[in-house]
């Protein structure tokens, strides 16, 4: 039992966490999940150690449910029949690390090409893997500059090409076009190449709604990663990585004492996250997930329209949940937890955040910036 001082400390923290959760519009976290039916499982040390497709002597796991989650996403992303593999990760960053790991094992002297709008974890992953890399310029909307990609690959045509494509960049939710990337590779007669898609936020809802440009295995990716705690929602960060099985076979070795194969990044893996994802998929269903996606996109357009009515030079990429606008005063950024870069902030219209909550923010933004900070919308 906690001492009174420790109990007071915990209660104060819990109160603050509840309060801060009420002003959380700057990061892509769904807020409409309810996993209370699963709370009894928190008493158990669930560990999905090793390969999700191989049984282990550590039998206190959720491997069977994890397999169902993986099958759902393999179907959603049109993974090649009988030639895919994956696992539930700790989040998109681990999924990106795994995709790059497989690419490096396939092409040890390959060069990784990624745009300057790519998530910060990718550069860290490249350093961990000791890969060669080249940063590609971004377009104003955050999408990769394909002319720069062409030039950089042309200068290094003697080395295999590893592409890190963004399916929803961190700040503007821009999506790199795999068709344009493949055209670039074809025009330079690049035979040895690998494409990994970082689809952390946008991948799930884009696939559900069949949005263009497409990015999954049918469109030419060799591996992809999504986050589970973003669009689907989870109290614990999690995600999924999928890869072509024939590429993954180069990785992994049998570990006798756990009775399974070590094919993942972390070895021991959280056994609760797959259950959260399984529960959400089963309770919402494909149609329910589609509705959430459409409602979020419609909310983003509503927020964008409100900004424009206020005369704010805000914008949004096509079919995105992210609205970009001139950064407000520090107090507002802190209160609403707004990610900011180069003088621009964004808010993200995630499931579970009501239009009333965005209206509350917009009213405060308009009040504080009505004269000094607002820029008129440019018209042609």
CATH of the domain at 304: 3.90.1150.10
Whether 91 and 226 share a structural domain: yes
Residue 189 pLDDT greater than 90, yes or no? yes
pLDDT band at 371 (very low <50, low <70, confident <90, very high): low
Q: At a CB cut-off of 8 Å and minimum separation 6, what does 200 contact? A: 28, 91, 92, 95, 119, 167, 168, 225, 226, 227, 230, 239
Alpha-helix residue ranges (DSSP H) falling in 224-269: 245-248
Q: Is residue 3 part of a domain?
A: no
What local confidence, expressed as pLDDT, does residue 253 receive? Answer: 56
pLDDT band at 374 (very low <50, low <70, confident <90, very high): very low
What local confidence, expressed as pLDDT, does residue 262 receive? Answer: 77
pLDDT tens track for 106-133: 999 999 999 999 998 999 999 999 999 9
What local confidence, expressed as pLDDT, does residue 267 receive? Answer: 84
Question: Rounded to 10 degrees, what is the CA torsion of 91, 171, 288, 295?
Answer: 160
Residue range 133-152: mean pLDDT, rounded: 98
Whether 302 and 266 share a structural domain: no
The residue out of 256, 281, 306 marking a domain boundary is 281
User: What would the two tokens of residue 185 be?
Assistant: 């590779």
Residue 380 pLDDT greater than 50, yes or no? no
Residue 254 pLDDT greater than 60, yes or no? no
Q: Give the structural domain span for 165.
A: 37-281
User: What would the two tokens of residue 63 be?
Assistant: 């491997």
What local confidence, expressed as pLDDT, does residue 260 receive? Answer: 58
pTM above 0.85, yes or no: yes
| Overall number of domains in the chain | 2
Residue range 63-88: mean pLDDT, rounded: 97
Whether 277 and 308 share a structural domain: no
pLDDT tens track for 287-331: 999 999 999 999 999 999 999 999 999 999 999 999 999 999 999
Q: Using CA atoms, how far apart are residues 147 and 82, in angstroms rounded to an integer?
A: 36
What local confidence, expressed as pLDDT, does residue 56 receive? Answer: 84
CATH of the domain at 76: 3.40.640.10
């Amino acid at each position: 039992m906690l001492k009174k001082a420790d109990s007071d400390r915990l209660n104060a923290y819990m109160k603050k966490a509840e309060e801060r959760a009420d002003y959380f519009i700057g990061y892509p976290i769904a807020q409409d999940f309810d996993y209370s039916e699963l709370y009894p499982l928190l008493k158990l040390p669930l560990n999905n150690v090793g390969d999700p497709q191989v049984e282990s002597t550590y039998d206190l796991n959720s491997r069977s449910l994890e397999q169902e989650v993986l099958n759902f996403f393999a179907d959603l992303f049109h993974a090649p029949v009988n030639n895919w593999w994956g696992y539930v990760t700790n989040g998109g960053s681990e999924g990106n690390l795994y995709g790059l790991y497989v690419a490096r094992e396939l092409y040890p002297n390959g060069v990784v090409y990624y745009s300057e709008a790519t998530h910060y974890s990718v550069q860290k992953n490249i350093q961990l893997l000791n890969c060669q890399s080249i940063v590609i310029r971004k377009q104003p909307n955050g999408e990769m500059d394909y002319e720069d990609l062409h030039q950089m690959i042309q200068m290094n045509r003697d080395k295999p090409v590893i592409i890190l494509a963004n399916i929803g960049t961190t700040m503007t939710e821009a999506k790199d076009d795999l068709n344009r990337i493949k055209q670039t590779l074809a025009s330079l007669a690049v035979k040895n190449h690998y494409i990994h898609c970082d689809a952390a936020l946008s991948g799930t809802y884009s696939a559900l709604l069949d949005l263009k440009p497409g990015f999954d295995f049918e469109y030419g990716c060799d591996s992809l990663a999504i986050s589970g705690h973003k669009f689907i929602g989870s109290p614990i960060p999690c995600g999924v990585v999928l890869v072509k099985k024939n590429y993954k076979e180069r990785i992994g070795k049998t570990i006798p004492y756990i009775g399974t194969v070590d094919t993942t990044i972390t070895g021991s893996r959280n056994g609760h996250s797959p259950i959260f994802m399984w529960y959400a998929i089963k309770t919402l269903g494909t149609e329910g997930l589609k509705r959430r996606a459409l409602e979020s996109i419609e909310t983003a357009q509503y927020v964008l329209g409100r900004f424009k009515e206020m005369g704010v030079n805000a914008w949004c990429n096509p079919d995105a949940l992210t609205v970009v606008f001139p950064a407000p005063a520090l107090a507002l950024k802190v209160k609403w937890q707004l990610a900011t870069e180069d003088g621009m902030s964004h808010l993200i219209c995630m499931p579970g955040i009501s239009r009333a909550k965005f209206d509350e923010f917009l009213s405060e933004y308009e009040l504080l910036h009505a004269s000094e900070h607002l820029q008129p919308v440019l018209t042609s």
